[in-house]
Structure formats: C-alpha cells, structure tokens
Homo-oligomer: A and B are copies of this chain.
Amino acid sequence: MSKEIIELFFNPRSIAVIGASRDPTKVGYQIVYNLKMKYRGKIYPINPKADEILGLKAYPSVLKVEDDIDLCVVSVPAPIVPQVIDECGKKGVKAAIVISAGFKEVGGEGIEREKKLIETAKKYGMRILGPNCVGVYVPKTGVNTTFLNPNRMGFPPHGYIAFISQSGAFGIAVLDWAAMRGIGISKFISVGNKADIDESDLLEYLVEDTDTRVITMYIEGIERGTQFMNIVKKTTTRKPVIALKSGRSEAGARAIASHTGSLAGADAVYDAAFKQTGIIRAYGMEDLFDMAIALSLQPPAKGRRVAILTVGGGSGVMATDAATDLGLEVPRLSDKTVEKLRKVLLPIASPYNPVDVTGSARDEHLIESIEILLKSGEIDAVIWIPYFMVPGISEEIVEKFIERAKKVNQELDVPIPIVGAATGGDYTWKLAKKAEEMGIPMYLSVERAAKAVWALYRYGEWLRKNGVFHEYIENFRKHALR
C-alpha cells in the first residue's frame, strides 16, 4: 500500500497546487508554470482569490475540486499548512508535498507545527514529503514541483539515476548542472525536513523502480538509523547506492546543525555503516555523479586489474597513477598478449600496459586492441583514452570502437566494463557524448575515469561478497547492455 502511495508522488493522474498564485514572483506561480511545461495530467490551482491561473481554472479549496486528486503540492504560509492538510485528508488525497518552510528547522513553534502536520496526515493515511523541500522532478511524467524559473536553470532528461537530496538548493543546482552535462535522471526527490517520508521509504520504492539503475543521495543526517541500514542492505545487492554525506568535519557538523537541524553524528559511524551495508561513499558532487554514470551504463568489474588503452602517452601514465592511487592494478600483460598487440599496432606503439597506440594511430589500432584486451583474460576493466582530435582517428571511431567492444563482450562469460577519458573541447565532447549515448561513460580527466572504474570494482566486490555478482550481471545484460 505504502509503495502505491509513494508512486503517486512520481506519477499522479492529477495534481492540486495549494497556494497557486498569479504573481510571477511567487513560488505558487512558478510551480504551476513548471508543471505546465511537461506534465500531462490534470492540474488544479487552488487559490480562494483567483478564478484562473496561467490559463487553468482555479478553485478556492481542494474540497471544491470534483475529480480525484492524486497529489497535493502545498505552498502556503506555514501556520495554515496543518489546516490545508486536513482539507486534503477530507478530500481523500493520499500524497502531499509540503514546500512551505517554517517548521522544525526554525525551532520553537515550528516543531509543534510539524508534529501537528504529521498527526493530521496520519489520521487520513496520507504520506507527506517535506516540509521545507523543493519536492520532486520526474522527467518521464513531467512532474516538477521545483519552483525555479526555467530561464535560470535547466532540467535534465530522463535517465537511469535517482537522486535524493536533503538539501533543496543543492538538489536544484545538481539538476541544473546535470542538464548542462547531459546526465539523465529517473527521479529527483528533495526530502526537506523528512517529517514523514525519508531515505528509507524512497529506497524501498526505488529498488523496485524499473527506471532507476543507480540511487544517489546527498545526506546531512539519518534519523532512523537501524531501519535505514536494514533497507540499504536489501537495496545494495540489487542496485548500487552512492551517498555523499556531509558534516565529515567538526566544523561541517556544526554547520549542519544550523542548516537542517539534523544531528550529523560522528562521521566514523556513518562511514562504518556505509561500508557494512555496501553504500559507496562519494566525496563531492562530481565524484557522486562520475561514479553513478559509470554504474548506470557499465557492468561492475570482476576484479581490480585495469587495462589502459591510450592515444596519448602522458595520459596513459597519469591514468596509471590515478588507478594505482585507488588500489587498482595496472598489470603488465603476458608476452602472448603483448605479441598479439604488437602485430596490429604501429612499430612506435607501446604494446604493454598502458597500451599506447600513439598520436599517429588510426581507428583500427584502437579497435583491434580492444578486442585483444577484452579477450586476454588478463584484465577486469578498461580505461579508454581516445584523443579524438588526432588526424588518424576518424569521426566514426566511437561507433566502430563501441560496436566491436560490445560484440566481444557479448561472447564473454562476464562482460568487461569500459570507461573513457576525453580531455578536450567542443569536438571531443561531441564525440564523447555520442559514446555515452552508446553506453560508454566519458570523463574530462583520467583521474575521474579511474575513480569511475574504482566504483565499478568496488560494487563488483560487494556483489561477489553477497554471492549475487552473476545474478546482477545477468540482469544487467538483459536490461542495460544493449
């Protein structure tokens, strides 16, 4: 039952916006505006003083709406929120997002108000997201309660990564960045004060969500710790969970107290809990999504042996350093494999590991090399560093390389993950984006590519430890490897 209610937040047939406004400077205007952009269900603006808002008929109360309402978005002054929720309950609404601030986070009577809000919701079996949040953004259904002006921010396309954020502003900044970077999002959820729905509820839902392959989180503090750990354990054997937990430092924990009022708790406790439950810890926004992109597009690695296949010698060296720093191995290849590589490469190429095809390379050098490396049985992951700008590499290299790699990988018992590093500008990123569309994640630097491989290794290790590696791979092959 609860999961069906959670579903209403992401895929409602109708949405009432309580506190809808005709004033473009108001949150209640922008929510209706942003919903209208993509959402194709019914939108009911609720405002006792308006007949019509943004071309939609307005109602004085949810009780005056004749149809069923699946989801209410509440943006009215905090003191009247409990009363509004009561009306929603009477109307039979089961899901409400409370955008309004002025609850637990302000202390004092805010705490009482939040209690009352939740008691009211419970009376009706209603679930609450927030208060003090920016709600949800679901590209697939067009549900978008983030109230920022689309002239000032971008919204990412549909994709495989779910993102749960305890900070609304940070969540919005990430969406905006993801839109520019071309990262697809399955669901974004701003949890705010977590008065009712929290990470645990969402994990239970997202683990079953076929649109979500990887779950990412920005966390300041977890309250229901034991429950969280139990649910995470059940999640991470099926989908990767990556968390950015702030408040690592004492000064950071102090800052959290005055931000969301969460108790940050000792960082070591979180760190241990993450390790115990298989959560991969990220140390920054780029780190979080670098790893998430890799895990959403590529299978986990069965071991720590990395092959580096590069057009630029210097980048090969730096990739080796970065991989080694992370505890990965860049092993020498066997004489047999070196010999095979030597046969297909230029005389000036270096057939060891890194395999340096050099700046004089042509497409076939990369394509023959990836086949030899994948078939060698000597490596568990590949970092590909193509240097698209060099003259011998054609514009078709991406298709040619990825098609060959996929073909070889299909024949292997366990597919070998490949990630790319593409330092460069506009032309390079045009091709890099094509590679990502075809399933190979690309990074601006070798260090970030190495971290992505580390995440694939780290998650593979967790799956093996839990005896579900092959099950996951089978499932991944069916759904993710096209």
Contacts and interface: CB of A to CB of B under 8 A. Distances in A.
Contacts of A331: 251
B426 A284 contact: no
A320 B427 contact: no
Nearest to A179: B425
Interface string A411-436: 00000000000011111110000000
A352 B176 contact: no
Given A177-B423, A252-B321, A283-B447, A314 B166 contact: yes
A109 interface: no
Nearest to A312: B169
A400 B324 CA distance: 46
A366 interface: no
A425 B169 contact: no
A255 B316 contact: yes
Contacts of A314: 165-167, 169-170, 218, 220, 246, 259
Taken together, the copies of this chain in the complex come to 2
Contact of A445 (B172, B284, B312, B387): B284
B423 A315 contact: no
A321 B248 contact: yes
A304 to B, nearest CB: 12
Contacts of A284: 318, 322, 445-447
Given A151-B427, A220-B314, A352-B258, A25 B169 contact: no
Contacts of A359: 168-169
A481 interface: no
Interface string A227-265: 000000000000000001011111110111011100000
Given A176-B425, A246-B317, A259-B317, 5 more contacts: A25-B391, A148-B390, A248-B321, A284-B445, A285-B445
Interface of A: 25, 30, 101, 106, 148-149, 151-154, 165-170, 172-174, 176-177, 179-180, 218, 220, 244, 246-252, 254-256, 258-260, 283-287, 311-318, 320-325, 329-332, 348, 350, 352-354, 356, 359, 387-391, 423-429, 444-447
22 contacts: A148-B389, A149-B389, A153-B389, A166-B314, A167-B317, A169-B311, A172-B389, A177-B424, A180-B425, A246-B318, A247-B321, A249-B330, A250-B324, A251-B320, A251-B331, A252-B330, A255-B316, A255-B317, A260-B313, A284-B318, A285-B445, A285-B447
